[in-house]
Amino acid sequence: MAVYLITFAVNDDSGADARRSRMCRRIETTLAGQCITPTAYAIDGDDIAQIECRDTDEIRDFLRRDLSDDDELFVFALSKEQPWAGDGGPAAQNWLRDHMDRPDKETFMKVVRDLGQQ
């Protein structure tokens, strides 16, 4: 079963871009190749890259180190068996429902296509 992991941090301040950049580097250099399940991650809704990880808790705890207290981090595991599931507030779940459960599934297919090209 392919699992697509989407994470995104929400906080608009002067240091947000630097934190996102650090998070991307940490993911790419530290988590790459650690596990079996193919995953994808996104920050602020933008597809970034393909990574591999053990589970959503590992990713959440890992990313949390680079976020400020005002940032919000949501981790979702997407699969055919469970179109959307996540830990996070209603706003995040609504975002996921809107973007991943639309009739045309445009965003979901973009994630799948991006994974297939890597």
Q: Which two tokens stand for residue 62?
A: 């890992």
Of the CA atoms within 13 Å of residue 1, those in its CB half-sphere come to 9
Q: What is residue 30's predicted lDDT score, i.e. its pLDDT? A: 44
Write out pLDDT tens, residues 30-83. Answer: 444 443 233 444 444 444 444 444 455 555 565 555 555 565 544 444 433 333
* pLDDT tier, 2 (very low <50, low <70, confident <90, very high otherwise): very low
Q: Which two tokens stand for residue 72?
A: 């919000």
* DSSP 8-state assignment for residue 28: I
Q: What is the mean pLDDT of residues 12-39?
A: 54
Write out pLDDT tens, residues 82-111. Answer: 333 443 445 445 544 554 444 334 444 454
Domain membership of residue 21 as a residue range: 4-116
What is the total count of domains within the chain?
1
Distance from C-alpha of 49 to C-alpha of 97, rounded to nearest angstrom? 22
Distance from C-alpha of 18 to C-alpha of 77, rounded to nearest angstrom? 26
Q: Specify the pTM.
A: 0.31
